[in-house]
């Protein structure tokens, strides 16, 4: 039977690549993000392969999140796969000089936004006793690095919430997966450094993971047999050993 997936943060990077990967497999798509024009462009491109619906909302806005998901047309109401991907780092500062607006953004989007979207969708999964939730965490959710303080805190929270979900949703047969990438070459660094020149150097001198690499792992996770749940994946490019060791061309 054809499945339907809802992907947050589908306008860029890992979310967009996952939408393209799922479309190849005929999975029906609900694509979410704040940039309407991009949603429209991706919908037009992927509609040749599968059915696509878009939802334009900010995951920080609780009411907008619930209204968007309630507004889904009948054909898209049953969500089999939820990809909680929307998120970003904002800034890279020592804790003593960190920017409070950056902290708010990371906690509100990466943690609370993930919870709002999950809250809006989990009841239909528990009712049907089926579903698969994939939360995009980070290697920053497993290891803290200098100046990573709050971003690492938000991704540690994502990992704890993912593990909590796996426990609480266990009686319902719902799969819960954590995908934790290291450095992935997306718009992530542009957002983190607010377009500053430093953003251009983040992926220089080595081959970082590409968004498509993560999308392929996500596709693998959702295509396992019913009795198999990929619980937790930590994924680095070959040049990266951990959060602080990256082999770069000299
Ligand atoms: N790139 C990396 O190195 C890396 C490493 C580990 C983990 N991750 C995680 O991977 C996920 C995807 O990141 P990416 O690398 O693909 O970055 P990206 O290219 O910047 O994409 C981020 C996506 O999140 C959406 N988003 C951001 N804030 C939002 C909000 N308030 N409401 C709704 N959507 C929002 C953006 O869409 P709109 O702007 O259109 O809303 C965009 O589609 C994030 O959770 C990130 O923390 C990334």
Q: What is the pLDDT of residues 73-85, one digit of tens each?
A: 999 999 999 999 9
Atom 1 in ligand 1: residue holding the nearest Cα: 184
- Residue in 14, 143, 159 to alter for ligand 1 test, most ligand atoms within 8 A of Cβ: 14
Instruction: Evaluate: CB of 118 within 6 angstroms of ligand 1.
Output: no
Q: Is the pLDDT of residue 200 over 90?
A: no
Q: How far is the CA of 88 from the centre of ligand 1 (A)?
A: 5
Q: Is the CB of 184 under 6 A from ligand 1?
A: yes
Cα separation, 85 vs 223, whole angstroms: 18
Across 183-190, average pLDDT: 96
**Ligand 1 midpoint to CA 47 (Å):** 23
Tell me the pLDDT band of 1, cut-offs 50, 70 and 90.
confident
99, 91 in Cβ contact below 8 A?
yes
Residue 100 has pLDDT above 90, yes or no: yes
Domain boundaries, the chain: 4-235
pLDDT score, position 145: 98
Long-range contacts of 238-245 (CB under 8 A, 24+ apart): 238/207, 239/206, 239/207, 239/208, 240/182, 240/183, 240/206, 240/208, 242/139, 242/143, 243/139, 243/140, 243/143, 243/144, 243/145, 243/148, 243/182, 244/145, 244/146
The residues carrying an active-site annotation are 151
Q: Which CATH number fits domain 4-235: 3.30.360.10, 2.120.10.30, 3.40.190.170, 3.40.50.720?
A: 3.40.50.720
**Which stretches of the chain are assigned E, i.e. beta strand?**
4-7, 28-33, 52-56, 81-84, 132-136, 175-181, 184-185, 209-210, 232-235
Q: Please tell me if the CB atom of residue 18 comes closer than 6 angstroms to any atom of ligand 1.
A: no
Average pLDDT over residues 21-36: 98
Q: Is the CB of 131 under 6 A from ligand 1?
A: no
Average pLDDT along the chain:
98
Tell me if 149 CB under 6 Å of ligand 1.
no
What percent of the chain clears pLDDT 70, i.e. is strictly above it? 100
At 248 the three-state DSSP class reads coil
**Residue 14 CA: which ligand 1 atom is closest?**
16
Dump pLDDT digits (tens) for 42-53: 999 999 999 999
Q: How confident is the model at residue 195 (pLDDT cuts 50, 70, 90)?
A: confident
Atom number, ligand 1, closest to the C-alpha of residue 189? 1
């Amino acid at each position: 039977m054809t499945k339907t997936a809802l992907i947050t943060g589908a306008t860029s990077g890992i979310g967009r690549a996952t939408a393209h990967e799922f479309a190849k497999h005929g999975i029906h798509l609900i694509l979410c993000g704040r940039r309407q024009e991009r949603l429209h462009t991706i919908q037009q491109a992927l509609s040749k392969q599968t059915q696509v619906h878009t939802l334009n909302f900010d995951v920080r806005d609780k009411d907008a999140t619930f209204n968007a998901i309630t507004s889904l047309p009948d054909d898209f109401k049953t969500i089999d796969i939820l990809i909680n991907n929307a998120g970003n780092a904002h800034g890279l500062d020592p804790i003593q000089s960190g920017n409070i607006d950056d902290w708010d953004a990371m906690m509100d989007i990466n943690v609370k936004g993930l919870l709002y979207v999950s809250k809006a969708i989990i009841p239909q999964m528990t009712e049907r006793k089926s579903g698969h939730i994939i939360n995009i965490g980070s290697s920053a959710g497993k290891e803290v690095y200098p100046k990573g303080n709050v971003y690492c805190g938000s991704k540690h929270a994502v990992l704890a919430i993912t593990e909590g979900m796996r426990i609480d949703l266990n009686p319902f047969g719902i799969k819960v997966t954590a995908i934790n990438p290291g450095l992935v070459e997306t718009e992530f660094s542009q957002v983190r450094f607010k377009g500053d020149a430093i953003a251009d150097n983040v992926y220089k001198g080595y081959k970082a993971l590409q968004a498509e690499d993560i999308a392929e792992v996500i596709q693998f996770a959702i295509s396992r047999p019913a009795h198999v749940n990929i619980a937790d994946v930590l994924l680095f490019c070959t040049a990266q050993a951990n959060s602080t060791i990256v082999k770069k061309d000299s």
